[in-house]
Amino acid sequence: MRSDDFMNAEDVARYLNLGKNTVYQLAKSGQIASYHVGRKLRFTLEDVEAYVASTHQALFAAQSSQETIAPGSEAEESVSKAAAFGELDGAPFAIAGGDTAADILAGSMNTTGMPTARKVCGSYTALVNLYAGDADAAVVHLYDQASNTYNLPYVRNLAPGASVIVFRLYGRQIGFIVQVGNPKKLTTWGSLLHKGVRLANRVKGCGARVLLDEKLRAMEARADVIEGYGRRYKVGTTAARRVAGGAADVAIGTERDMHGISGLQFVPMQKEWVDLVVSKAPESRAGIKRIKELLADEDLRRDIAALKPCDYSKLGVIVYES
């Protein structure tokens, strides 16, 4: 693609690993330059890359402040992602997490008149934010090996004593992203330990990283035997591109992470569940009411269903309440 070729919102969302609603918000705020071709909104790759460069400048500014941020750290992820999503200062309701479903829900809440901020971070950090009172809701997908379940063990352990309600959002397959033909024959978690297997790993706290670490712990395996374990990538598409480019043999992720990237194959390993955890604090009551309405709304259901391939048959079901 040439730098002056036009892209639509879906192209930009895929390029930046964002939701389309977030792309529209960034265009409306002027953070990404956009153009109307007839009635359609269009972008150029040059302008999208200029926006990416601006988020790097925001990160540099943060690194130059009193607090030093180590490259590849969770702090780096928080700063760069916050810049990318353009958090709404002073919004009464905040949703933490890195999944596109959080973007969809926040966009819908803003559209219906409830200003909603996004705190973009990994699932683990999202729950910590909720427990600390820095977020009203968290979108999470965290696997617990001991119970062979998702999310609820982390809700109980990371938010002890907190009064919460947990809504199911959707399910999807997570597994290995490999080159076409799976040249290293990676079909089990143990196969990641084979000599010569290079991993494009993810940052601490995200669902894919937690899943990998839980599987390694269950095998009583040392993580440092995996080549590339210490190199961490903030988003799944970046890790997938490392595999496609031959710099790694495998990444842990979903089929959506490899969407639009040629030369890749998906090896499903298990189903994961993406849930919404909401604090039941008095200041969250209006947000809970709005969320219940939206989770029953057909427009939002269609937006979630568009996160193909996914199982949204249990969307809105309350799976836990305390």
Residue 122 belongs to a domain: no
What is the rounded distance in angstroms from the CA atom of residue 63 to the CA atom of residue 76?
Answer: 9
The residue among 250, 271, 292 that closes a domain is 271
What's the pLDDT at 157?
A: 92
* Structure token digits, residue 69: 């941020």
What's the pLDDT at 62?
A: 37
pLDDT digit string, tens, across residues 207-257:
999 999 999 999 999 998 999 999 888 888 889 989 999 999 999 999 999
Residue 285 belongs to a domain: no
Residue 144 has what DSSP assignment? Answer: E
Return the CATH number at 181: 3.40.190.10
Find all residues with CB under 8 Å of 108, minimum gap 6, and list them. 21, 294, 297, 299, 300, 303
The residue among 77, 94, 116 that closes a domain is 77
| Nearest CA-CA partner of 272 in 200, 218, 214 | 214
Classify strands 164-179 and 264-279 as parallel, antiparallel or unpaired.
antiparallel
**Band of pLDDT at residue 67, cut at 50, 70 and 90:** very low
What's the pLDDT at 56?
A: 43
Residue 93 belongs to a domain: no
The residue among 77, 106, 123 that closes a domain is 77
* Structure token digits, residue 101: 């479903």
Structural contact between residues 209 and 239, judged by C-beta atoms closer than 8 angstroms: no
What is the rounded distance in angstroms from the CA atom of residue 299 to the CA atom of residue 281?
Answer: 28
Cα distance between the two ends of the chain: 51
What's the pLDDT at 201?
A: 95
Does residue 49 register a pLDDT over 80? no
Residue 63 belongs to a domain: yes
Structural domains counted in the chain: 2
What's the pLDDT at 103?
A: 87
* Structure token digits, residue 205: 């706290």
% of the chain residues with pLDDT over 70: 86
> Of the ranges 54-68, 196-210, 276-290, which one carries the lowest mean pLDDT score?
54-68
Record the pTM: 0.74
Indicate the average pLDDT of the chain.
Answer: 84
Find all residues with CB under 8 Å of 114, minimum gap 6, and list them. 92, 93, 286, 287, 290
Secondary structure tally for the chain: helices H, strands E? 11, 14
Residue 114 belongs to a domain: no
Task: Report helix angle 100-111 to 285-295, nearest 10.
Answer: 100
Residue 44 belongs to a domain: yes
What's the pLDDT at 7?
A: 85
- DSSP per residue, 276-292: EEEE--GGGHHHHHHHH
What's the pLDDT at 250?
A: 97
Residue of higher predicted confidence among 76 and 165: 165
Structural contact between residues 221 and 188, judged by C-beta atoms closer than 8 angstroms: no
What is the rounded distance in angstroms from the CA atom of residue 238 to the CA atom of residue 282?
Answer: 39
Return the CATH number at 36: 1.10.1660
H/E stretch holding 35: strand 35-37
- DSSP per residue, 290-307: HHHHHHT-HHHHHHHHTS
H/E stretch holding 250: strand 250-254
Q: Position of tokens 């390694």?
A: 216
Residue 99 belongs to a domain: no
**What phi, psi does 234 have (nearest 5°)?**
-70, -35
pLDDT digit string, tens, across residues 77-123:
433 333 333 344 455 799 999 888 998 898 899 888 888 888 888 99
pLDDT digit string, tens, across residues 165-217:
999 999 999 999 999 999 999 999 999 999 999 999 998 999 999 999 999 99
Residue 322 belongs to a domain: no
Residue 40: domain span: 1-77
Cα–Cα distances in angstroms (integers) from residue 165 to residues 105, 137, 216, 276, 292, in the given order: 16, 9, 31, 8, 11
